[in-house]
Structure 1
Amino acid sequence: MAAGNKIIDLLVVGGGTAGIVGAKTAAGFGAGTVLVERSRTGGDCLWTGCVPSKTLLAVAEHARTMRAVTGQPPAFNAVQKRISAAINTIEPVDSPAALDDAGVRVIKGNLTFRAHGVAEVNGRTIHFRQALIATGAAPAALHVPGLAPGVTFTSETIWELDTLPARLAIIGGGPIACELGQAFAQLGSVVTMIARSRILGKEEPDAAALVRVSLKYDGVAILENTTIADAVGTDAGCRLRLRDGKVVDADAVLLATGRTPRTAGLGLQRVAVTVNRAGHVVTDKRMRTSNPLIWAAGDVTANPQFTHLAGVHASVAASNAVLGLRRQVSATVPRVTFTSPELAAVGLTTANDGPKHRSRMISHIHVDRAVTEDNTVGFTRLIVDRRGKILGGTIVGPRAGESLAELTLAVQNGMTTSDLAATTHPYPTYSDGVWNAALADVRGRLASPVARLAMTMLVWFRRRRLDTRSPHRSDR
């Protein structure tokens, strides 16, 4: 398939998760598909996000155990080699060759929309019927007076470190800050997190509190509800001066204060694609932009910035674009912070004060797998309505992300705690937390006065029926 003068069915801009999934989906339907990527396919998830960070977390947790036994931290170059090996193992799946095998033509270069149905890449004009914008997002810039670029890193550039920093300061308190902060502390860095509010501010306070305790146990100093006034250079790195008067000395500073959408230079105004004040491409529930022939998915939109969400949204967008469907994306969005313990949540996580919702929580001291692993720190909490319909919940503990999958399915499909309680679960597993919380809710409903009266009457009628039929009954 040539891009030349042929009109492309779907032009995909961006080769990250959303772009790859969207392009493969369209090509799978038989649509002529071209993907334009300015750098390398695979996106942030493969090169600087999910894959390297989760590999680092795994290596770091193992390093903590080995250091406790041997007293020696791992060689940092060994850590880097393990991360590179993980990336190299996964990269072929996201490569241009794999896309070509799927029927997608890949063009490397910067794309600019010139007019409706017309784009330009490397000085070459491309005509298209529809387009999918999937250019992702980049770490947000943060100006700190006096902070030298040479000691400053982001989630994209932290992997360029040649040596493990003896002192690492992290500006931010979200999932990226917590995950990388814990990992570097486990590897041996002295880590200080500086957050303008509390860490993991979008999560329930008691869930975030368990992560905070774990971070501190691993040696992370956490300074919350404060910001940086300025910085001054030192022989080893820099000194950060906080607005509350404290100072933090660091050899390296990681900026983890959010991400901004990559829309600069796309020429979206020429094709009537609306962006919000933060620069995100605005979409409806079908992932269509203000231009009915242009769609968007992934971190470039205003939706939560998760790899799994980018892929699902891109699939919906491509299906709607190519097949003319009217599919809508689900509002059920699971999220996991991969600290130790993991913190996972989906849907509604707080019950209201009235009778509309209720909360059922199981401490993991009552989850037998957690007991056998001698790791009972954590809990599973379900939020349900008056009829037992599961609206959401939070799980904190080992493998919380895996346990969340069942809870996400329950929320997505409007299942009740009775549905989960009646389902046989393998034993012993960490997902027993979800099952036991569901059982607790069912038993709680059965303990209500109305339910108890109904069951008492059923038992009485059953007893009478059996007595009437009993062969041992004697007439009087």
Structure 2
Amino acid sequence: MIRHMSEYDVIVLGAGPVGENVADRVVRGGLSAVLVEHELVGGECSYWACMPSKALLRPAQALRAARHVAGAAQAVTGELDVAAVLARRDSFTSGWKDDGQVEWVRGAGIDLVRGHGRLSGVRQVTVDTADGTATVLTARHAVVVATGSDALIPDTEGLRDARPWTSREATSAERVPAGLAIIGGGVVATEMASAYASLGSTVTLVARGGLLRGMEPFAGDLVAAGLRDQGATVLLDTAVSRVTRTDAGVEVHTGDGTVITAEEVLVATGRTPRTTGIGLETVGLAAGEWLTTDDTLRVPGHDWLYAAGDVNHRALLTHQGKYQARAAGDVIVARATGAPVADQPWGRHVATADHAAVPQVVFTDPEVASVGLTERAARAAGHDIRVVDYEIGNVAGASVRQDGYAGTARMIVDERRRVLLGVTFAGPDVSDLLQAATIAVVGEVPIERLWHAVPAYPTVSEIWLRLLEAYGR
């Protein structure tokens, strides 16, 4: 039964941080917008990803940092209070209630319709609500798909029947399992291995290849060593052949005959798009596939349809999705009002950074922070490059920061243009270095000019001077 029909300038499917930002930019530009959401307003990042995962990781990071500074180390006499860690985590998710987020949406002048939204025609969305009725929404200008992604569960024998954890269960668990087996070697796998090892779980991580394979190899090596220092078992180049749920927990069988027993198993092997059941087939698009867009986030062949965030598979990171949202919201306003569209590279209405300047932090111990191209990616793209490495622990500021500081920095220089293509840091607190690297890569700051960006002494940022010295003038 259709309850009513409403018309807006823009309809946004998905009220996570990406959808919220699209709607906010649209409203700020003078258009009307409505968000459609069937779960919690605020999305994956707020309740099951970025915020709760980092809240789980931070207490142990703070404790380890204190233990690596003489004087402070002697003052540390206790262990983590697990109940307090979980309670603090809960505070960041507001107890998995979205009242605050809903209040923000309404305060921003954005309408909200709760229910499962699906495309039912050109510029039309039908929302099936919990009471069995349907609301039909029509967009004057655009529909934006910002439905995100779900954890991918591979077709490993017995895995689905074993009721595995995904990132959602790992970040929202009410208790710490005695043993946790983790399948995967990416960001979720390594971060949750670090978190649960710190919280007292016996952690075994099984990765088909190395760790963090999309980053520089030394980053994965340092993270693997860090996990082992925390007491985790790390099995690399190991395939899982079968998983079985038992009365005592789970058994994870590997290809070499090893059997790992644990209370729970976490699958962290990738993501899959939330594009099933949202009506894409009604407008000639394939369900269950990633949505392809141009740099203005518009779906080719559909001048009214946009996709932002994970669902377009450009860069599966919240901050990058919000960056896309700003571009998409602004270009929708420009096109609706007849204003000029700045769609040249690095223009206001495009997400150019998605291609070559995506910043990312892995909050393990040590941290990994990177932006731009790795050595392998730069060579594959045909760039004439020079690779410059330096041990961060040799910088005076690093020795002040932490006793026995160990870490590595790498910059990739385009020799033809003498600008940075990529930078990677691995070491304690290197996330603090990332924005400077991002500005250097995005701004294509010439090497000669970087010499004039003098780092304060003694800070870890002096690594920039050492990298430039290693490169030469």
Give yes or no for contact 1:61–1:183 (8 Å, CA) kept in 2.
no
Aligned partner of 1:303 in structure 2 is: 314
Aligned partner of 1:237 in structure 2 is: 249
Aligned partner of 1:416 in structure 2 is: 446
List aligned pairs for 1:19-418, cutoff 5 A: 19-62=19-62, 73-88=79-94, 95-122=101-128, 123-129=134-140, 130-147=142-159, 152-273=164-285, 279-290=289-300, 291-324=302-335, 325=341, 326=343, 327-330=349-352, 331=355, 332-350=357-375, 352=379, 356-372=384-400, 373-386=402-415, 387-418=417-448
- Tell me: CA distance 1:439–1:15, structure 2 relative to 1, closer, same or farther (3 Å): same
Deviations 1:212-270 (A, max 9, x none): 11111111111112222223344421221111111101111011111111111111121
Q: Sequence identity, in percent?
A: 33
- Tell me: CA distance 1:407–1:75, structure 2 relative to 1, closer, same or farther (3 Å): closer
> 1:75 Cα deviation (Å)?
4.3
Q: Which moved more, 1:174-183 or 1:116-125?
A: 116-125
For 1:407 and 1:62, locate their aligned partners in 2 and report how far apart those are by CA, in whole Å: 24
> 1:62 Cα deviation (Å)?
4.3
List aligned pairs for 1:433-448, cutoff 5 A: 433-441=463-471, 444-445=472-473
- Tell me: CA distance 1:407–1:133, structure 2 relative to 1, closer, same or farther (3 Å): same
> 1:207 Cα deviation (Å)?
2.1
For 1:389 and 1:64, locate their aligned partners in 2 and report how far apart those are by CA, in whole Å: 36
> 1:83 Cα deviation (Å)?
0.2
For 1:355 and 1:33, locate their aligned partners in 2 and report how far apart those are by CA, in whole Å: 43
Give yes or no for contact 1:92–1:98 (8 Å, CA) kept in 2.
no
- Tell me: CA distance 1:47–1:62, structure 2 relative to 1, closer, same or farther (3 Å): same
- Tell me: CA distance 1:344–1:156, structure 2 relative to 1, closer, same or farther (3 Å): same
> 1:402 Cα deviation (Å)?
2.3
Aligned partner of 2:8 in structure 1 is: 8
Deviations 1:11-69 (A, max 9, x none): 01101111011010101111011111111111111101010111111123346689998
Q: Secondary structure at the match of 1:156?
A: helix
For 2:422 and 2:157, locate their aligned partners in 1 and report how far apart those are by CA, in whole Å: 43
> 1:148 Cα deviation (Å)?
7.1
Q: Which amino acid aligns with 1:124?
A: T
Q: Secondary structure at the match of 1:328?
A: coil
> 1:321 Cα deviation (Å)?
1.2
Count residues in correspondence.
439
For 1:222 and 1:173, locate their aligned partners in 2 and report how far apart those are by CA, in whole Å: 10
Give yes or no for contact 1:42–1:94 (8 Å, CA) kept in 2.
no
- Tell me: CA distance 1:434–1:94, structure 2 relative to 1, closer, same or farther (3 Å): farther
> 1:193 Cα deviation (Å)?
0.5
- Tell me: CA distance 1:427–1:66, structure 2 relative to 1, closer, same or farther (3 Å): closer
Structure index of larger Rg: 1
For 1:329 and 1:89, locate their aligned partners in 2 and report how far apart those are by CA, in whole Å: 34
Q: Which moved more, 1:300-309 or 1:89-98?
A: 89-98
TM-score by length of structure 1 reads 0.86
Q: Which amino acid aligns with 1:175?
A: V
> 1:6 Cα deviation (Å)?
4.9
- Tell me: CA distance 1:374–1:93, structure 2 relative to 1, closer, same or farther (3 Å): farther
- Structural RMSD (CA): 2.6
